[in-house]
Amino acid sequence: MAAVKHFISESMKKTEIDEFLQKKLERAGYGGVTISRTPLGTHIVIYAMRPGLVIGRGGETIKELATILEEKFKVPNPQISVSEIEIPELNPYVVASRIASALERGVHFRRAGFWALNQVMEAGALGVEIIISGKLRTERARYEKFRAGYLPRCGDPPLKYMRKAEAHVQLKPGIFGVKVRIMPPDAVFPDKIQIVEAPLPEEEVPVEEETIETAAEEETKTEEASEEEAEEEEKE
């Protein structure tokens, strides 16, 4: 029971840290965080579109983050490193943040949803699902889904490969929620079989057989030559 409580508390702490960093590093294009324990402390990797804003001038911002994580969230000896997001369209945090920003600017939710959907699929994702919820068209809250590609909901591949994120934005009608699920292009599925064509066998090139003379044949030739020389001397 103690192990279960510890697991729940650690998961809640990670969620709180994720939400804090998402608000704190919104301008830096926050794209998620990974937390791992090491013998020397806690290794934290922050993914962002603009790593310079995470580090700050002279490392001020990253030092401030380390202090907050250690004092507020009780993270022992946090060692923070920053990694740049190579393809922002495949990061659910970035996609959800862009949709929320578009809704805040007054873009229609369907236009924002389909625009983000096309951007993610053009980046090479195997599948994507976007859910926008809130008072979309009436006073009653509802949600609308935007789906494309191959996106399984159960089994090992979704647990292993699927990337998920959520964002919220305050508008006049109320709070709008944006959920994004992306299946990256490097995901491997057990029901997808790839048939590889076997290479064609190389044509055999005929090799000329070299006659190898044995030692016995060489001896017979030398004997015949010596006999011929002896006969010629007798004739003379």
Whole-angstrom distance, CA of residue 46 vs CA of residue 53:
12
**Sign of the torsion angle spanned by Cα atoms 110, 116, 118, 124:** negative
Mean pLDDT of 22-27: 88
CA-nearest of 127, 126, 123, 133 to 99 is 133
Mean pLDDT of 33-52: 90
Q: Note the CATH number of domain 89-183.
A: 3.30.1140.32
Class of domain 2-85: alpha beta
Q: Could you tell me if 24 and 61 are in contact, meaning their C-beta atoms sit under 8 angstroms apart?
A: no
Q: Model confidence over 172-202: pLDDT tens digits?
A: 889 999 999 999 998 888 877 778 888 877 7
Q: What is the pLDDT of residue 222?
A: 63
| Ranges of each domain in the chain | 2-85, 89-183
Whole-angstrom distance, CA of residue 108 vs CA of residue 111:
5
Amino acid 108 reads: H
Whole-angstrom distance, CA of residue 138 vs CA of residue 209:
91
**N-term to C-term CA, the chain:** 120
Mean pLDDT of 207-221: 54
Return the bridge partners of 164, or none.
181
User: Is the pLDDT score of 224 beyond 70?
Assistant: no
Q: 3-state SS of 131-195? A: EEEECCCCCCCEEEEEEEECCCCCCHHHHHHCEEEEEEEECCCCEEEEEEEEECCCCCCCCCCCC
Q: Could you tell me if 104 and 98 are in contact, meaning their C-beta atoms sit under 8 angstroms apart?
A: no
Q: What is the pLDDT of residue 204?
A: 66
Q: What is the pLDDT of residue 190?
A: 81
Q: What is the pLDDT of residue 191?
A: 75
Q: Of 195 and 217, which is predicted with more confidence?
A: 195
Matching residue, tokens 């998402």: 22
Whole-angstrom distance, CA of residue 147 vs CA of residue 9:
34
Mean pLDDT of 87-103: 92
Q: Of 11-15, 210-214, 225-229, which one has max mean pLDDT?
A: 11-15
Q: What is the pLDDT of residue 176?
A: 93
Whole-angstrom distance, CA of residue 84 vs CA of residue 37:
22
Matching residue, tokens 């709070």: 175
Q: What is the pLDDT of residue 1?
A: 63
Amino acid 8 reads: I
Q: Model confidence over 49-83: pLDDT tens digits?
A: 999 999 988 889 999 999 999 999 888 899 999 99
Q: What is the pLDDT of residue 154?
A: 84
Q: Model confidence over 137-173: pLDDT tens digits?
A: 888 889 999 999 998 888 888 888 999 999 999 998 8
Banded pLDDT at 116 (limits 50, 70, 90): very high
DSSP assignment, residue 203? P
